[in-house]
Amino acid sequence: MRLELGLVLIKDVQFSDTTKLENGVLTVNKEELIKLISEDEHLASVEVDIAKPGESVRITPVKDVVEPRVKVEGPGGIFPGILSKVDIVGSGKTNVLKGMTVMTTGKIVGFQEGIIDMKGPGADFTPFSKTINLVLKCAPVEGLKQHDHEKAVRFAGFKAAAYLAETAKSLTPDTVEVFQTDPFLEGIKKYPNLPKVAYVQMLQTQGLLHDTYVYGVDAKQIVPTILYPTEIMDGAIVSGNCVSACDKNTSYHQMNNPAVHDLYAAHGKTLNFVGTIITNENVYLADKERSSNWTAKLAEYFGLDGVIISQEGFGNPDTDLIMNTRKIEEKGIKTVIITDEYAGRDGASQSLADAHPSANAVVTGGNANEIIHLPKLDKVIGTLDYIDIIAGGFGGSLNEDGSITVELQAITGATNEIGFNKMSAKGY
């Protein structure tokens, strides 16, 4: 499967009476966009704002982040099974509005939503302080159930991203990146002397607003399966969860997964990147056993020499991570895991809730319990009402002067477990 990603570089985003993209400047008809999002009867009101790098702006509580993409050529469309039909995606041509995002915020859905600062010390811990962000503030109708609230806000982000991306459908990209994965047997013949490596991506599926969707299907309902990595780039996997903001994979993270990109960079050179195994993170032990058994079975079936395994979340999912690692290693397949740590504010506590000697190759995204002080910023998009109760916050997190004291856990993307940031640690 071959996918061309055409990167259309966004230099600025402005409001105007017309939605169009010219010379890297995206103009947005705010009223037209609000009308589109407001078609959802579950939303009482929608506001739209723009936040740019370096501005004294705080966005909170952040629900999801989405990168606008549009299918230019090939089967399917972006967000298959959600906004588009369920055709297989991951091939053809897709244009990307690179350098900007769509963010959703507003009244809290679940307590594990996050903070994004566009300047100051907090900006150093989130990748989204470097992007131009079009932010939707969505207010639900009175009495709306939490799951319906979450879905309405989630769909608002997807609809807005698709609406904006249409402006780039007929444009010539600034740069084009090509990604290709051959059918398994063809790839083996092409690279007979390279180690066969796959990416095992664990998807957050604990329920209670801890959900991930694959082609529109709640991933709690799946057994581990194979995806072409390019399917992920085309929006086959999207976020629907409210896990701690620091290690939550937003929909933007899914489409820009650095583990996938880095494996492609090494493909055909030092390794044969044969594909992606997706698996879930369940609550009950029997479900954990089933999924980890199937993941190890697939790794063995494809005769892999090594895998990279990433998780999402912490605590309960640590058990799934270690089960996958142990069982795959028992098949004689080398593993490297990507995670983050909850090692206490002093860094002295056990980092993961589970462990095993086979998990001896670890990449960490940093300690989510580290405390950070965020000074008051001039503008808030969203509301500060929930700072004391979001994950990483505590009684007194919001100070009288408007500054905030929280754990890194509260900052969106701070310790991301697919490696989409700059935090890590060294072992000695």
DSSP letters for 287-302: HHHHHHHHHHHHHHHT
Decide if 57 contacts 126 (C-beta within 8 A): no
Q: Which of 156, 214, 242, 308 is catalytic?
A: 242
Decide if 94 contacts 3 (C-beta within 8 A): yes
Among this protein's residues, is 242 annotated catalytic? yes
Closest CA relative to residue 230, chosen from 91, 93, 87, 76: 91
Q: Which residues pair with 136 in a beta bridge?
A: 48, 104
Q: 413 CB contacts (<8 Å, ≥6 apart)? A: 114, 125, 126, 127, 128, 245, 246, 248, 250, 253, 420, 421
DSSP letters for 16-38: ESS-EEETTEEEEEHHHHHHHHT
Q: What CA–CA distance (Å, rounded) separates 312 from 280? A: 10
Decide if 167 contacts 21 (C-beta within 8 A): yes
Sole residue written with tokens 């579950």: 42
Catalytic residues: 242
